[in-house]
Structure 1
Amino acid sequence: MIDQFAKNYLHGDLREVREELLGKLDGLGEYDIRRPLTATGTNLLGLVKHLTLTEARYFGDIFDRPYPEPLPRWDDLSTRGRDMWATEHETREQIVDAYRRAWAHSDATITELPIDAPGHVPWWPRPNVKLFNILVHVLTETNRHAGHADILREQLDGSLASDAHHDAEFWAARHAEVDRAARAAADPQ
């Protein structure tokens, strides 16, 4: 009974954070969803593209349920990192649709297999895993990148991560308070 509860709980959280991540694209133009916002080129659409590959791979071949679309080989170093950004020939719609197709495949795997179903991740130091391990891993990875997306979106236009309790005036005051404390700590005279 706890196994089904855990599986449903983790799966529910994964479904929720997927939608939150895609929501970070709302209202932004093509340049803003694609442009590099960190020294490494991290961008909003690239995070979505990366998580598409993550879900397709982890809930696909790992459980002998191959994803029906072509994926780069996990050990092909020439393709490493290409899933972190969108080319000018890839549309927002194509990438978002691909992510949703990966969800459907992942959801089917999660629904159809028991939480202790065995899988094999050849690139992990302990490659023999259970569906539970992969659910936790993909949820963690998705949450991590959703956090990145929160910061990138705030950087772009000041949009905040779903905090309906505070307004812009509150956050401006908080920003000033944090800045004052940082300056005081740096120059304790």
Structure 2
Amino acid sequence: MDDFKDHLITYLSRSRQAVLWKAEGLSDAEVTRPMVGSGTNILGVIQHLASVEYGYFVQCLGFTITDERYAALEADPEPSADMWVPAEISRQEIMDFYQRAITAADANIAALPLEAPATVPWWRPETRQTTLGRLLLHMNVENSRHAGHLDIVRELIDGSTGLLKENTNIPPYDATEWKELQQKILSASQSR
């Protein structure tokens, strides 16, 4: 089981790295700009992920969250408060919030076995009682899903894309080759 826990932690760590990479090299305006109709923006997603790291790996495991940013988000009556960052809150504050959440999460994950009990009050009643193992699976999916969102958002901002900084996992095309591929795909789409 320790091997499986190590695998879950490794994948979670990689998706966290991917999320952080998507913000690198962008201005404050670029990381907060809503790029799609839902308002999805890079810094807002990072704030959201900090909040859910605390929620699942601290609160649901029976520990108390003392983070002021987390408390402010929890007290905000707006349902989407965790998905965007008001102008008066700095980018660095959100990046620090995410790091604090990861540190707290990692400490609890390391201290507990996969079978450790957890309660998720916002899940359906029949699934609320669960384990750390299930929370790790859930958060791997949550982080990967949002890393994918951020990959598209980053591509919309400056054209960069890829899985991880050290391994983009995409063909090494130049701008002309990407344009040709896009045209080929568009042509196929229009021929349907």
TM-score, L = length of structure 2: 0.89
State the 4+ residue runs in structure 1 displaced beyond 6 angstroms: 73-77
The answer as to whether partners of 1:67 and 1:105 remain within 8 angstroms in 2 is no
In structure 2, distance between residues paired with 1:163 and 1:141: 20
Q: Aligned-residue CA RMSD in angstroms?
A: 1.8
Alpha-carbon distance, 1:74 to partner: 9.3
| Percent pairwise identity | 32
Partner of 1:78: 77
> Residue 191 of structure 2: SS of its match in structure 1?
helix
In structure 2, distance between residues paired with 1:45 and 1:25: 7
Q: Is residue 122 of structure 2 the alignment partner of residue 120 of structure 1?
A: no
The answer as to whether partners of 2:73 and 2:81 remain within 8 angstroms in 1 is no
Partner of 2:190: 183
TM-score, L = length of structure 1: 0.91
Amino acid in structure 2 at the alignment position of 1:6: F
Alpha-carbon distance, 1:6 to partner: 1.1
Amino acid in structure 2 at the alignment position of 1:50: H
Q: 1:156 to 1:56 in 2, by over 3 A?
A: same
- List runs of 5+ in structure 1 lacking aligned partners: none
Alpha-carbon distance, 1:167 to partner: 1.8
Partner of 1:159: 160
Map Cα deviations across residues 13-66 of structure 1 (whole Å, 9 max, x no partner): 111111111111111111111011111111011000000000011001111122
Amino acid in structure 2 at the alignment position of 1:19: Q
- Kindly tell me the number of residue pairs found equivalent between the two proteins: 183
Amino acid in structure 2 at the alignment position of 1:156: I
Map Cα deviations across residues 63-99 of structure 1 (whole Å, 9 max, x no partner): 1122231434998681421000011011111101110
In structure 2, distance between residues paired with 1:114 and 1:73: 31
The answer as to whether partners of 1:72 and 1:79 remain within 8 angstroms in 2 is no
Report matched runs for 1:1-189 at 5 Å: 3-70=1-68, 71-72=70-71, 78-125=77-124, 126-161=127-162, 162-163=168-169, 165-168=171-174, 169-185=176-192
Q: 1:136 to 1:113 in 2, by over 3 A?
A: same
- List runs of 5+ in structure 2 lacking aligned partners: 163-167
> Residue 78 of structure 1: SS of its match in structure 2?
coil
